[in-house]
Structure 1
């Protein structure tokens, strides 16, 4: 894991970054539906869990786009990691609470799936908010609300204007016009990411899911 510090003076986003980080701090969110019609039958056929597959798909596309790997280092310098890992909420049904776990990303699905299963087995019963200790800062966030669907979602973070990793939230998938759709909310910092990059991410994610095979 390597952090690449960005030279602000030569960065083509210098003015945009300073504007949306200092002058008019700005984050934005977008909610869309991802078509998972081709994915669900494959999961049922292979008896594979839904959540880690979506987690893998998000992680794969995040790691393909520099704008989604942005963060600050310990000295508050903006930059990006060569690889980022998903940090996700793990629900405890017995007391209706959740913990944060994270799993090391691998481009190989089988390896990632095993990493996820191992993390859940080791840390899944830990009801502390930080279920698995965070070693590095190369994380992005994923939450799920599998009990309901939604058409809009936004997180209001007091210190969110200094937070640069993306935040993903997906809901309960549903059927509409013979399609199985998954609501997905994407929240980003406008200093490092524009609507173009979010649209590029959504299109890449949809293509990835359409063509995903185990």
Structure 2
């Protein structure tokens, strides 16, 4: 459910007033993750690497209260559910997007991921969920990437995570992930907490 709230009655009061009218309110941080356990879990569980990573993103975000807030059109909204947006190549060769509802149950999330991405590929359209706080993602496994910066205009305010191909060495597998967020929604310390939580969730796999 999506509910409008008064930002002056939240811990985001000052940040909202400072950044809601900024022409460039987005912040990008980058962390290199050890994804060796994620890669092994993908093979062991029969779940795609990117599906598992999206689930870990949802799991890590679910423990940070600021992820349930979203500045939009000069207002602040609170959500009670999370979803992960993924981009797919549709059957016409273009790109389509779909929202995957986050579930603590990884098998439920995987089933929804497979069903909804297949539907987006077939229908060649955007499949959105109402009432969900959506975390955007984009996987570009065609090459290794160090960092990606998305648009900074504040037109699309949802947090956004992007990554390329993981890198394998003799002893570990690493993956840099770029994470972008609206400064009215969270501060750097919240982003760092999320990134640390994400590595912890990957390790738990």
Query: TM-score when scaled to structure 2?
Result: 0.88
Q: Which residue of 2 aligns with 1:170?
A: 163
Whole-Å separation in 2 of the counterparts to 1:91 and 1:121: 10
Q: Which residue of 2 aligns with 1:141?
A: 136
Q: State the SS of the aligned residue for 1:86.
A: strand
1:25-40 to 2 correspondences below 5 Å:
25-40=24-39
Q: Which residue of 2 aligns with 1:198?
A: 191
Q: State the SS of the aligned residue for 2:122.
A: coil
Matched, 1:10 2:3: no
Distance change in 2, residues 1:9/1:64 (3 Å): same
Measured after TM superposition, the shift of residue 168 of structure 1 is 0.8
Tell me if structure 1 keeps the 8 A contact 2:79–2:133: yes
Tell me if structure 2 keeps the 8 A contact 1:19–1:25: no
Matched, 1:111 2:108: yes
Q: State the SS of the aligned residue for 1:9.
A: helix
Matched, 1:127 2:120: no
Whole-Å separation in 2 of the counterparts to 1:24 and 1:43: 40
Q: How large is the RMSD of aligned CA atoms in angstroms?
A: 2.3
1:66-77 to 2 correspondences below 5 Å:
66-72=65-71, 77=75
Q: Which residue of 1 aligns with 2:89?
A: 91
Measured after TM superposition, the shift of residue 150 of structure 1 is 1.4
Residue-by-residue CA offset, 1:129-170 (whole Å, 9 max, x unaligned): x1x244345322111111111112101244x1x543201111
Whole-Å separation in 1 of the counterparts to 2:7 and 2:58: 27
User: Aligned residue pairs: how many?
Assistant: 205
Which 5+ residue runs of structure 1 have no aligned equivalent? none
Which 5+ residue runs of structure 2 have no aligned equivalent? none
Distance change in 2, residues 1:209/1:137 (3 Å): closer
